[in-house]
Amino acid sequence: MAATITGFETHDVRFPTSLTGDGTDAMNTDCDYSSAYVTLFTSTDIVGHGMTFTIGRGNDIVCAAIRELAQRLVGKDTEELFANMGKTWDYLNADPQLRWIGPEKGVIHIALGAVNNALWDMYARSRKKPLWKLIVDMTPEELVSATAFRYITDAITREEALAMLQAKAATKAEREARVRELGYPAYVTSAGWLGYSDEKVARLTREAVEAGFNHFKMKVGADRDSDLRRGKIIRSIIDDPQYLPPGATPRDPDAPELRGKNAGPTGAVLMIDANQVWDVPQAIEYVKGLEEIKPWFIEEPTAPDDILGHAAIRKALKPYGIGVATGEHAHNRMVFKQLLQAEAIDVCQIDSCRLAGVSEVLSVLLMAAKFGVTVCPHAGGVGLCEYVIHLSLIDYIAVSGTMERNVLEFVDHLHEHFLYPCSINKNGRYNVPNDANEGYSIEMHKNSIAEYEWPNGSYWVSAKAK
């Protein structure tokens, strides 16, 4: 149905997570998980919701950038925008003046993530499909035209992408049926935040094992002795069959999906995340000292822009059986392109809204598949789990065709603020979003916005009064 974009509204929504230590790591010690949220309105009742994630102060600056970008959509015909989402992305990304305050990085780029995602949400809702389904049902030609391709054709051409997608097209329905039945593999981060006591880490780890998870992530980098101590606590639980859920049997650590992951005797895998605290030589030395707890990979060992630094760390840690992962702060597809070209990563951790929305994510999914690198999206934040299940489903069904080596981050908080919260089945895997009206699953409850909007939401007004 013909529709025109008539306007938008933004909300600066902040949750007081700093009170509990949720989300704490070696770099980010005081986070109020926040959403720079946008809703696009049309001349019909179709709307589109999008957001990008921040950790508190500065969320208002992102909202200001979102308003600048969303303004560029007002008056546009939605069907024309949907007909070539790659071209639409280029248009949004190429404002002759706003481009200067990037280009394609920082505040303006994460703001574009919110706006592009809102437009994809609107597109999916208008077709009465969840976002992942809208995209996996596209022809290979349509999917390629929806992708941001500028500046990456030295790594992958449109023709190569098309051939890859065509090779997977005939078996999409099988994979869709399989993942609907089994769910998508997940891992849990919530047990291992730095701000938690040993007792809380142990309790949360036991609960996670009982909930069916077998990949676990722990934050490291503030103090090696304490990292080793917490790592041993976690390993002592995840490697011990007595904690497995009733009826569950240990997984074979040599099974193909666990090979190379340093899995323990029950098939459990531990990952560690330093959130960028080290210089390159320091990262290598520190992580060597954690060999005993057998991590699969070290995530974000150093500055996110340091592509060759990641390559050096990966090379140095290879003899220890420890890989390198990064991506949640990789600010655009060109950084991912170079990480792949430089053989700097074992695991590609796309972020749903640091990259500038679905169109740019598609370009990274295609490159990662071409280079044979596993995609395990980042989801430590508010709304990110809701987003990323869609991206992993697109990766599995339409792009890479694999999921059993992949794991999608799951963080168990703040889901109650969303109309279509993500969910995990009894085997510790994400359920497939399946509501015809949920779009990209990111619509927030109006009363959550009213309560947590900064600075005048009811929560913040009463917090200030205390």
CB of 285 to Mg ion, least distance (A): 21
The verdict on 239 binding Mg ion (CB under 5 A) reads: no
Are 125 and 437 in contact, with CB atoms under 8 Å apart?
yes
Which CB sits closer to Mg ion, 120 or 387? 387
CB of 300 to Mg ion, least distance (A): 5
The string of DSSP letters for 260-313 reads TTT--TTS-EEEEE-TT---HHHHHHHHHTTGGG-EEEEE--S-TT-HHHHHHH
CA atoms of 171 and 124, how far apart (whole Å) = 22
The residue to which tokens 């109020």 are assigned:
32
The verdict on 386 binding Mg ion (CB under 5 A) reads: no
CB of 130 to Mg ion, least distance (A): 26
Q: Name residues whose C-beta falls within 8 Å of residue 192's C-beta, 6 or more positions apart in sequence.
A: 201, 204, 205, 216, 217, 218, 219, 230, 234
- Please tell me which residue in 109, 217, 261, 378 is annotated as part of the active site: 378
Which CB sits closer to Mg ion, 147 or 326? 326
Q: Name residues whose C-beta falls within 8 Å of residue 442's C-beta, 6 or more positions apart in sequence.
A: 49, 50, 51, 117, 121, 383, 386, 387, 418
CB of 186 to Mg ion, least distance (A): 15
- Please tell me which residue in 109, 168, 219, 261 is annotated as part of the active site: 219
Binding region for Mg ion (CB under 5 A) out of 56-64, 151-159, 168-176, 270-278: 270-278
Which CB sits closer to Mg ion, 126 or 326? 326
Q: Which amino acid is at 331?
A: H
Binding region for Mg ion (CB under 5 A) out of 115-123, 151-159, 254-262, 267-275: 267-275
| Nearest residue to 457 (alpha-carbon basis) of 32, 23, 30, 6 | 32
Half-sphere exposure of residue 170: CA atoms within 13 angstroms, side-chain side: 2
- Closest CB to Mg ion belongs to which residue? 273
Please confirm, yes or no, whether 219 is among the known catalytic residues.
yes
Which CB sits closer to Mg ion, 73 or 220? 220
Q: Is residue 245 reached through a cis peptide bond, with omega within 30 degrees of 0 on the bond before it?
A: no
Please confirm, yes or no, whether 378 is among the known catalytic residues.
yes
CA atoms of 4 and 334, how far apart (whole Å) = 33
Which CB sits closer to Mg ion, 78 or 374? 374
Q: Which amino acid is at 13?
A: V
Q: % helix / strand / coil in the chain, to the nearest 5?
A: 45, 15, 40
CB of 398 to Mg ion, least distance (A): 26
The verdict on 273 binding Mg ion (CB under 5 A) reads: yes
Binding region for Mg ion (CB under 5 A) out of 65-73, 201-209, 273-281, 421-429: 273-281
Binding region for Mg ion (CB under 5 A) out of 266-274, 279-287, 289-297, 430-438: 266-274
Are 213 and 246 in contact, with CB atoms under 8 Å apart?
no
CA atoms of 377 and 392, how far apart (whole Å) = 7
CB of 27 to Mg ion, least distance (A): 9
CA atoms of 196 and 218, how far apart (whole Å) = 11
Which CB sits closer to Mg ion, 273 or 453? 273
Which CB sits closer to Mg ion, 23 or 267? 23
The string of DSSP letters for 82-101 reads HHTHHHHHHHHHT-TTGGGG
CB of 304 to Mg ion, least distance (A): 10
| Active site residue ranges | 219, 378
Q: Binding residues for Mg ion, per CB under 5 A?
A: 273
